[in-house]
Amino acid sequence: MSRISYLLREAFTNIGRNGLVVLGAVLAVFISLTLTFGTLVFGEVVRINTLQWAEDVRVIAFVRDDALTSVPEMQAEMESWAEVESVYFVSKSEALDEARVLLSNQPATLRVIEDSPDIVPASLRIKPVNPDDYQTIVTRLQATPGLLRVQSAGQAIDAMISLRDGLQVMFWLLALALGVAAVALIANTIHMAIYARREEIEIMRLVGASNWFIRVPFLLEGAIEGFIGAALAVGFVVVAQQLAVDRLTDLPDWINVAVQHDYLYSQGALVLMFGVLAGLIGSGLSLTVHKYLRT
């Protein structure tokens, strides 16, 4: 226990001796992990909104008037498809009410519909299990008898899926690059600290101190610096995200910037662990290559 206490005390003493260098390392980790954690939170916001938009994805199958009696059988068959989550029927009268709302700003078109309400067809609204499956559903519907036509927001769905996949890849690549940068910055800081204390290291060797006894305080120093920088990053991003939720109240209903607290806590804990790990890895790299600590 006394040895552990000595190593911790030595690590904090080393931090105190090189306040400006340590401050630079902590700020570097803070900036890197703030961007990393911020990227993860922004990615979660994008994911939430993508799922929310996906909830509105529907394939519409317009039913011929002479096939309305077959709607229950068609609906049951569509619900049995593996790609389909749900199907609901919109009658001609319900479709007419919907058209009145949608076309309220187009009086000429609305007048035509009011004069000939029978031109508004009934429809089956199909929600895919996964937005990616919409084209399979469209293909199967086109081969289903009794349907007037099939309609889907194909290009919009494809654009949404591409945006989702592209942003996920970009977020992870950016997080990886920033994580590597944090490790490199800590390694450089420890390297400078070892060089500044090279005479002390030589004296400790002369009095018989083991190699690991000399190295451990530097490892602990890197871990502490990584933890402090990560803790500041987590606190900053959590506060900034909460301020965004509180202040950005005028956003459209289809944009949601709120993130579940469980996600923030779990990812925040991972960022803290990564900060400590980055500090240990950075210190370890510096200890491995520094000539004053080679065995």
Higher pLDDT, 53 or 180: 180
Residue ranges of the alpha helices (H) in the chain?
Answer: 2-17, 19-55, 71-79, 92-102, 107-115, 134-142, 154-196, 198-206, 211-247, 261-289
* pLDDT band for position 250 (cuts 50, 70, 90): low
Asked if residues 122 and 91 have their Cβ atoms less than 8 Å apart, the reply is: yes
Higher pLDDT, 248 or 290: 248
Q: How far is CA 57 from CA 29, 134, 152, 228, in A?
A: 41, 9, 8, 44
* Chain-centre distance for alpha carbon 84: 27
* Chain-centre distance for alpha carbon 135: 27
Residue 122 phi, psi dihedral angles, 5° rounding: -75, 165
Asked if residues 151 and 59 have their Cβ atoms less than 8 Å apart, the reply is: yes
Q: Pairing mode, if any, of strands 122-128 and 59-63?
A: antiparallel
Cα angle, residue 115 at apex, residues 109 and 118 outer, rounded to 5°: 95
Residue 225 has pLDDT above 90, yes or no: no
* Chain-centre distance for alpha carbon 114: 47
| C-alpha–C-alpha distance, residues 155 and 125, integer Å | 18
* pLDDT band for position 231 (cuts 50, 70, 90): very high
Residue 158 has pLDDT above 80, yes or no: no
Q: How far is CA 124 from CA 92, 196, 209, in A?
A: 11, 75, 80
| C-alpha–C-alpha distance, residues 271 and 268, integer Å | 5
The mean per-residue pLDDT over the stretch 79-105 comes to 83
The mean per-residue pLDDT over the stretch 67-83 comes to 89
Quote the pLDDT of residue 251. 59
What average pLDDT does the structure give for the chain?
Answer: 76
Residue 29 phi, psi dihedral angles, 5° rounding: -65, -40
DSSP 144: S
Q: Which of 36, 30, 45, 29 is nearest to 241 (CA)?
A: 45
pTM for this one?
Answer: 0.58
